[in-house]
């Protein structure tokens, strides 16, 4: 399965519920969870792929199995408007330096909002069956629709 753009060795490495179940002597004191393994200097200034996420961050988990359909991204049509980025409920549109790079398939749940809000013609994002390879999906892209008068 494709991990999507800017995947890191940490992102989406385990299914929810697949983490090791440790004993009472190893659970964290007070149920407190530390997001990062080491200290960070204002996380708002650090790109996700450069952050020292601990195993407690859901960044390291995947919800890919929730999907039955998935969005596929077509770079050739995209105008980098970032509609998909602002409305993605799952932090799964990867944009860097004002450019849409693609989809984080570890965290995308396949809701389809990104496709609905995409303003290009044809759309730069379309939903396909989960099993469809993105490369194959791109060959099935529709033509530009003529405006109905």
Partner 1 sequence: MAEKMQLNEVEVWDGNLAAAQALRQAQVDVVAAYPITPSTPIVENYGYFVANGYVDGEYVMVESEHAAMSACVGAAAAGGRVATATSSQGFMLMIEVLYQASGMRVPLVLTVANRAVASPLNVRGDHGDMYAGRDSGWVQMDAFNAQEAYDLTLCAFKIGEDMRVRLPVMVHQDGFLTSHTAQNVHPLQDDEAYKFVGDYKPYEEMLDFSKPVTYGAQTEEDWHFEHKARQHKALFDSAAVIDEVFEEFKKLTGREYKRVESYMMEDAEVAIVALGTTVETARVAAEELRKEEGIKAGVVAPRVFRPFPFNEIRDALANVKAVAVLDRSAPMGAMGALFNEISAAMYTTPNRPLITNFIYGLGGRDFPVSEAKRIFKEQKAHADAGYITTPIQQFSGVRGPKLGFFETKRS
Partner 2 sequence: MALRPIKNLKEFSTANERLEGAHLLCPGCAHSMIVRELMNATDDNLVIATNTGCLEVSTAVYPYTSWDTSWIHIGFENAASAISGAEAMYKARKRKGTLKDPDAPVKFVAFGGDGSTYDIGFQWLSGAIERGHDFTYICLDNEVYANTGGQRSSSTPVGASTTTAQAGRVSYGKKEKKKDIVAIMAAHGAPYVAQVAPNKWKIMAKVFQKALETEGPCFINTVSACTTEWKFDPKNTIEVTDLATDTLIFPIYEIVNGTELNILYRPKKVLPVEEYFAAQGRFKHLFKPENRHIIDQIQKDVNERWEYLQRREEARV
- Nearer to partner 1 by C-beta: 35 or 74? 35
Task: Figure out which of the listed residues 73, 78, 106, 126 binds partner 2, where binding follows CB under 8 A.
Answer: 106
- Nearer to partner 2 by C-beta: 42 or 139? 42
Q: Is 138 helix (H, G, I), strand (E, B) or coil?
A: helix
Task: Figure out which of the listed residues 9, 29, 97, 145 binds partner 1, where binding follows CB under 8 A.
Answer: 29
Task: Figure out which of the listed residues 9, 20, 25, 139 binds partner 1, where binding follows CB under 8 A.
Answer: 25
Q: Which of partner 2, partner 1, none is residue 104 near (CB under 5 to 8 Å by kind)?
A: partner 2
Report the C-alpha gap between 28 and 140 in whole angstroms.
Answer: 49
Report the C-alpha gap between 113 and 3 in whole angstroms.
Answer: 20
Closest CA to 36 of 60, 57, 5: 57
> How many chain residues bind partner 1 (CB under 8 A)?
21
């Amino acid at each position: 399965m494709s991990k999507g753009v800017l995947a890191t060795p940490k992102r989406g490495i385990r299914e929810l519920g697949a983490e090791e179940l440790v004993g009472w002597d190893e659970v964290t004191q007070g149920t407190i969870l530390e997001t990062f393994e080491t200290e960070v200097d204002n996380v708002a200034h650090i790109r996700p792929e450069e952050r020292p996420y601990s195993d407690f961050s859901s960044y390291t988990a995947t919800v890919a199995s929730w999907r039955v359909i998935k969005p596929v991204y077509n770079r050739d049509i995209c105008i980098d408007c970032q509609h998909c980025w602002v409305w993605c409920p799952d932090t799964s549109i990867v944009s860097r330096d004002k450019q849409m790079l693609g989809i984080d398939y570890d965290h995308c749940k396949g809701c389809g909002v990104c496709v609905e809000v995409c303003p290009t013609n044809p759309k730069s994002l379309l939903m396909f069956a989960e099993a469809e390879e993105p490369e194959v999906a791109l060959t099935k892209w529709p033509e530009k629709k003529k405006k109905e008068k």
